[in-house]
Copies of this chain bind each other. A is one copy, B any other.
């Protein structure tokens, strides 16, 4: 796959927006090109920890999901991927506003993909960063 068409974007957006756990969190596909995917989430109260900040599990889920979409830009539609491992570093607590994850393939091999991700807030500040290994299944 060498370019992302509107049809491909619509297919991916539909896949994300019909996924129950993505709906639960409120993920929206906002960008897709070869080796890169962007997904955003609007902050709301039930994504908070007791202390009031964004739950780290939401951040990890967002990163894992955006990474999977970046990997799939290299694969035929019907192929599945699996996360082998995921490392997330949390940099700043998030309180209000939309946050957006940009995931990029650092290296796309035949079977193994290394993917990085950054999550920014509306002011463009980095709130989390991640590094992951994926495989085709």
Contacts and interface: CB of A to CB of B under 8 A. Distances in A.
Interface residues of A, number: 48
A135 to B, nearest CB: 7
Contacts of A48: 20-21
A28 interface: no
A61 B59 CA distance: 9
A100 to B, nearest CB: 16
A70 interface: no
Contacts of A25: 57
Contacts of A87: 85-88, 131
A101 to B, nearest CB: 12
A15 interface: yes
13 contacts: A19-B49, A21-B49, A21-B55, A51-B80, A55-B61, A57-B57, A57-B61, A60-B88, A82-B90, A84-B114, A85-B85, A89-B106, A133-B133
Interface of A: 15, 19-21, 24-25, 45-51, 55-58, 60-62, 64-65, 80, 82-93, 106-107, 111-112, 114, 116, 126, 129-131, 133, 135, 137
